[in-house]
């Protein structure tokens, strides 16, 4: 052991109560320092995560979205081009609506109802 360390141990033994108080204060300082360090490391982690996401992930997703939208638009445009040319006056119906359901209601068979006014006193 070196001389300064032995001297330190001697003072700790001589002033045991004072050394205990110093150790408690040192523990409080260390716990506060660790909390601050954890907080700073967490903040730095989230800042770096934001940087990586905004620099690499968002541009990739945006270009992918634009590419898919462009492909859909081109497929839509190609699908609507008529393949056969129609002659003048020719009509082509692509959609025939289903027939409406027949209900049992006949408006001619309904009787009129007479209403009376009731006067309150």
The pLDDT tens digits of the residues spanning 100-119 come to 566 667 777 777 778 888 88
86 token code pair: 């129609």
pLDDT of residue 1: 47
Q: Ramachandran region of residue 4, left (φ > 0), alpha (ψ -120 to 50) or beta?
A: alpha
| pLDDT band, residue 10 (cuts 50/70/90) | low
Q: How many residues does the chain have?
A: 121
CB-based contact 112:118 (threshold 8 Å): no
């Amino acid at each position: 052991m070196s001389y300064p360390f032995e001297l330190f141990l001697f003072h700790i033994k001589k002033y045991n109560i004072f050394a205990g108080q110093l150790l408690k204060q040192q523990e409080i300082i260390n716990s506060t320092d660790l909390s601050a360090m954890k907080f700073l490391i967490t903040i730095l982690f989230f800042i770096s995560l934001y940087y990586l996401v905004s620099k690499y992930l968002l541009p990739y997703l945006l270009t992918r979205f634009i590419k898919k939208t462009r492909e859909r638009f081109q497929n839509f445009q190609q699908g609507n081009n008529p393949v056969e040319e129609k002659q003048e006056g020719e009509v082509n119906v692509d959609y025939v609506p289903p027939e409406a359901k027949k209900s049992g209601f006949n408006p001619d068979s309904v009787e009129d109802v007479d209403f009376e006014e009731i006067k309150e006193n």
